[in-house]
Amino acid sequence: MKMTILLTIATLVACVVPVYAADAPGPDRTSFQEGGGYNPKIDFGSDMAMVYGVGTDFAQRAQSWRDKGYTVGMMTGIAWGHYQDYYVTPDGLKKDEIQTEKSGKLIMHGENVGYNVPTDAYIEYIKKYCEPAVDAGAQAIFFEEPEFWTRAGWSNAFKAAWQEYYGEPWQAPDSSPEAQYRASRLKYEMYFKALREVAKHVKERAASQGKQVECHVPTHSLINYSQWGIVSPESHLMDIQEMDGYIAQVWTGTARTPNWYKGKKAERTFETAYLEYGQMLAMVRPTGRKVWFLADPIEDNPNRSWNDYKRNYECTIIASLFWPEVFRYEVMPWPSRIFQGSYPKVDLDSKSDAKEGIPAEYATQLLAVINALNDMDQPVVSYDCGTRGIGVIVSDSLMFQRAAPRQSDGGLGQFYGLALPFVKAGVPVEVVQMENLPQANTLSTCRVALLTYEGQKPLKPEYHDQVDAWVRAGGCLLFVDDNSDPYHHVREWWNDQGRNEATASDDILKRLGVTEAAKTAPEAVGKGWVRVVVDKPSALQRREDGAKLVLDSVAGLLEKLGEPLKTQNYLKLQRGPYVVASVMEESVSGEALRITGQFVDLFDPMLPVVTEKVLQPGERALLFDIPWAFRQGMHRKVAAASTRVRDERNVDGIRHFTTRGPEGTRARARVIFTKEPKGVTTEPSIPVATAWDKDSHTLWLDFDNAARDIEFRVQMN
């Protein structure tokens, strides 16, 4: 997330920091990032505070959070940051190491700091920069956003790196498709090397002090970077032994990027976020590494309204919850800008320019969602959806064709043309990371996989070996390509480094042994089936019938497996007591979804009990299922609360639990009991309004949050 951090960075060589005991890496499921020290107005009670930047006072800022019960991490930019002491020299700015456009324009990220070309000298600087955080006991280091713009490639440092990496003189990236592809491949490898070297150094320094420190990369999704024209190592980072995982930086700002569907270009925040989160999970799913999902209650654009922020936050947070394998969350970035900033009251089409701080009810809603996120490590109870087991294969090379002279489709139709029709039809399509194909079980959840080489290419021939083996063992492949992409002819393994005219598409179809018959109907390959559609996914997304063609082609493959393609206009998942639902617009029907039962509505700041929730197309819900909790024996559980709840226990007929929340916010809670409690007290004593709902057997509480532990004692006997 782009934000200026007002921290003073002193010369690191002169920075003397005492050595602290490290927080032991543990089950930290929720976190947030913040530049300053402890602040009671943003005391969410999450597990970890990621303190941004080192400066001269990291140890003090870190300790201020640790004193309040948080474990501590350190986050810093890997491609940019407050690194003026590196960039500004007596001879002037190090312009040679700043990403540079063809015009000579430097791509900057703040005053006197640019997006970096990661030279060996810069890598050594970042190693030293991180040392005070290791010494001060940070549990984890987060290297944010390794970003190299596709429009860059003209700096002297990049030209020198080209010569070293390829053993040949630099070529202007816009001089040919091959030059652009090779420039992007080099950018990809440069930040891979930087992160590999820095993570190794961090681990070794920690080990020398008897500590363990995790290393993670907060990064946008491959989907977003590809559409925005940025190259990053993405799944390649899982080739680094010292890399422990990712934070999936998906939020309104990325997910509202317009895409095409049935010939219409529009923002589709829920659907885009769903696919972005799915791709980030795909990078770690076969590896056993960690991933946190981020959502932002606002976005980097400060001119949107609170109504807009709320609507889109609900889209992204619900999208994140449809991936039940993930139960770690960065609950928000920069909470001080959210809870202490001012933004427009109403939508942009209004003539009013009045601004206000976060509306009290939106703050209460956010806190209820955040508390639920702490409890999301739950079993899947049910999934009401379309056909499962369909995946779209993507490669990191999707980022390599995103600039002149032949930019692949700017709307990223190569991906959305294949994936979006399924989300719109209530089919929980998965994203399969091509670079993980050599890992065991990468395709194990897929019965049908979709693949194109328009806009992306296979980086290694063994990926085709894996696809071939999977099909012959019973998988179904839909291959959509017209073989016209000019990037097919870059010097790569499939054409013997340019010695022949073969394409990557030719190679996969030759291995599978399919004939012309596969272009009209599924063709048997071993125990599996292959269907070839000679078309461009990017063209399909702009056609009214494009989505239907994709769905029908997959339906034809599923028929060979003896089942129909099931579609509907919604997704509804239950994770433990939590019911997550989204109804799609532009779908197979315009019907409303009616959810009946007895629920706490977590999107309503009053936390009411509802017996029916009706969702129209374009609406979403997050509910707590009270009867399900009863059936599981949760007779004295805090079902929902706009405050962090911990330490729930029974002692001598009294239900105890503690709460903690940001100063200046309102807390509400709903607690399940078998019968009406006799009274509520707190320590320390605070005013609490209560109401008993006999139908749901829940006690409603209403009180002011406090940035300290408040112990509730509910008399049951």
CB 152 within 8 A of CB 101: yes
pLDDT of residue 18: 42
Cα–Cα distances (Å) from 184 to 36, 37, 105, 149, in that order, read 36, 39, 19, 9
Could you say which DSSP state residue 114 is in? B
The fold of the 12-378 domain, in CATH, is: TIM Barrel (3.20.20)
CB 304 within 8 A of CB 342: no
Write the pLDDT tens digit of every residue in 680-703: 999 999 999 999 999 999 999 999
Residue 116 — very low, low, confident or very high, per pLDDT cuts 50/70/90? very high
Choose among 692, 572, 669, 673: nearest CA to 629.
Answer: 673
CB 637 within 8 A of CB 672: yes
Residue 635 — very low, low, confident or very high, per pLDDT cuts 50/70/90? confident
Q: Is the pLDDT of residue 204 over 90?
A: yes
Write the pLDDT tens digit of every residue in 609-631: 999 999 999 999 999 999 999 99
**Cβ within 8 Å of residue 280, ≥6 positions away:** 221, 246, 248, 250, 291, 293
Q: Which of the two residues, 518 and 82, has the higher pLDDT score?
A: 518
What does the mean pLDDT of the chain come to? Answer: 94
Q: Is the pLDDT of residue 13 over 60?
A: no
Write the pLDDT tens digit of every residue in 561-585: 999 999 999 999 999 999 999 999 9
CB 683 within 8 A of CB 626: no
pLDDT of residue 8: 33
Q: Is 350 helix (H, G, I), strand (E, B) or coil?
A: coil
Average pLDDT rounded to a whole number, residues 110-137:
96
Q: How many percent of the chain have pLDDT more than 70?
A: 95
> Whose structure tokens read 């032994």?
241
Average pLDDT rounded to a whole number, residues 404-416:
96
pLDDT of residue 441: 92
Cα 141 to Cα 81: distance, rounded to the nearest angstrom: 15
CB 635 within 8 A of CB 672: yes
Residue 17 — very low, low, confident or very high, per pLDDT cuts 50/70/90? very low
Choose among 534, 693, 504: nearest CA to 608.
Answer: 693
Q: Is 557 helix (H, G, I), strand (E, B) or coil?
A: helix
Q: Is the pLDDT of residue 602 over 80?
A: yes
Q: Is the pLDDT of residue 15 over 70?
A: no
Q: Is the pLDDT of residue 540 over 70?
A: yes
pLDDT of residue 12: 30
Q: Which of the two residues, 445 and 1, has the higher pLDDT score?
A: 445
Residue 7 — very low, low, confident or very high, per pLDDT cuts 50/70/90? very low
CB 678 within 8 A of CB 656: no
Write the pLDDT tens digit of every residue in 239-293: 999 999 999 999 999 999 999 999 999 999 999 999 999 999 999 999 999 999 9
Residue 28 — very low, low, confident or very high, per pLDDT cuts 50/70/90? confident
Cα 515 to Cα 595: distance, rounded to the nearest angstrom: 48
Q: How many percent of the chain have pLDDT more than 90?
A: 93
Q: Is the pLDDT of residue 156 over 60?
A: yes
Partners of 621 in the beta sheet? 581
Q: Is the pLDDT of residue 210 over 60?
A: yes
pLDDT of residue 110: 85
**Prediction pTM value:** 0.95
pLDDT of residue 349: 54
Cα 622 to Cα 389: distance, rounded to the nearest angstrom: 25
Phi (first) and psi of residue 325, to 5 degrees? -65, -20
In the chain, what is the straight-line distance between the N-terminal and C-terminal CA atoms, in Å? 51
Q: Is 705 helix (H, G, I), strand (E, B) or coil?
A: coil
Phi (first) and psi of residue 276, to 5 degrees? -65, -50
pLDDT of residue 25: 46
**Top-level class of domain 384-560:** alpha beta
**Amino acid type, 102:** K
